[in-house]
Amino acid sequence: MDATAPILEVQDLRTHFFTQDGVTRAVDGVSFALEPGETLGIVGESGCGKSVTALSILRLLPPKLSRIVGGKVIFEGTDLVPLDEPAMREIRGNRIAMIFQEPMTSLNPVLTIGEQIAEAVRIHQGASQKDALARAVEMLKLVRIPDAERRVGDYPHQFSGGMRQRVMIAMALSCNPKLLLADEPTTALDVTVQKQILRLMLELKERIGSAVILITHDLGVIAETAKRVVVMYAGRVVEQAEVTALFDAPLHPYTRGLMASIPRLKHNRARRLAEIPGIVPDLRTPIPGCAFAPRCPLATDRCREAAPPLEDQGSGHFAACWEAGRA
């Protein structure tokens, strides 16, 4: 495979949830691509479909409730959507690893963390128990857990929140994955610990050469870590750009509203914050036009009738907005 080909390409992904109350279009036509070693940020508010996108890539969604109804997830040239469960298991934790928001719920409380890291290494790399445990110690050292040789035999509850997230990172990276999905990895942590974890994640990603998709609601975290950013709203991508371009000149009215509404340290000392009026739309009813139109100050009749495509507005800055030119 040539070096510049994207490692992951998500094309028009559609994931729907089927509940008693109707069909929820949680992910409604999402496309983006990721180069090897790149850090892509996906940002959006709760319910925008950012987590469901990540879970769709790894096919970790509840099978009876949800289904990928359309689109492709091309990872290293193979579409993952039609793969069966054994083939996905080969990829999960091995080629693609994931870190979740709450480390305690993704660690098994009755196994030592050494056993849990070693298990992944044994299954995917065919290592012996002894080699796998040695690898576990090595990984714990890598994520800078002090006294790793002893702590490898400890149980998850013996670690603090920040330490647990380090263990999760160690586990995720133990098989040298090509892609790391991090879903709100620092949201449950304190700010001083958040900074340590983000630094560690980015540093190790460089060493291992993984690409990273960082999912967060926090524009600050995005600005400090991502190279490129995808902004999601109501299950759709509304804007995609290099991080500096996005923060310098956001094109979509939603992104602009979002940036104006956050209080910034030592930056914006206006007495009032800008508000985005209204609330997010109900995803159970199909939205024919732009999903943001009901809250958008620039909305026209066209916006309410036809959904704008995600188009290049110049130098790789994509926005899905009929009025992107009007600022």
Contact residues for another protein, defined by CB under 8 A: 20-21, 45-46, 160-163, 190-196, 199, 217-224, 243-244, 247-248, 257-259, 261-267, 269, 271-280, 282, 284
Cα 327 from Cα 250, distance rounded (Å): 9
- In angstroms, give the least distance from the CB of 166 to another protein: 10
Closer residue to another protein in complex, CB, 72/195: 195
- In angstroms, give the least distance from the CB of 39 to another protein: 12
Closer residue to another protein in complex, CB, 134/298: 298
- In angstroms, give the least distance from the CB of 38 to another protein: 15
Half-sphere exposure of 100 (CA within 13 A, CB side): 11
Residue 98 pairs in a beta bridge with 181
- In angstroms, give the least distance from the CB of 128 to another protein: 34
Closer residue to another protein in complex, CB, 177/257: 257
Closer residue to another protein in complex, CB, 80/258: 258
- In angstroms, give the least distance from the CB of 5 to another protein: 27
Closer residue to another protein in complex, CB, 208/280: 280
- In angstroms, give the least distance from the CB of 283 to another protein: 12
Closer residue to another protein in complex, CB, 130/266: 266
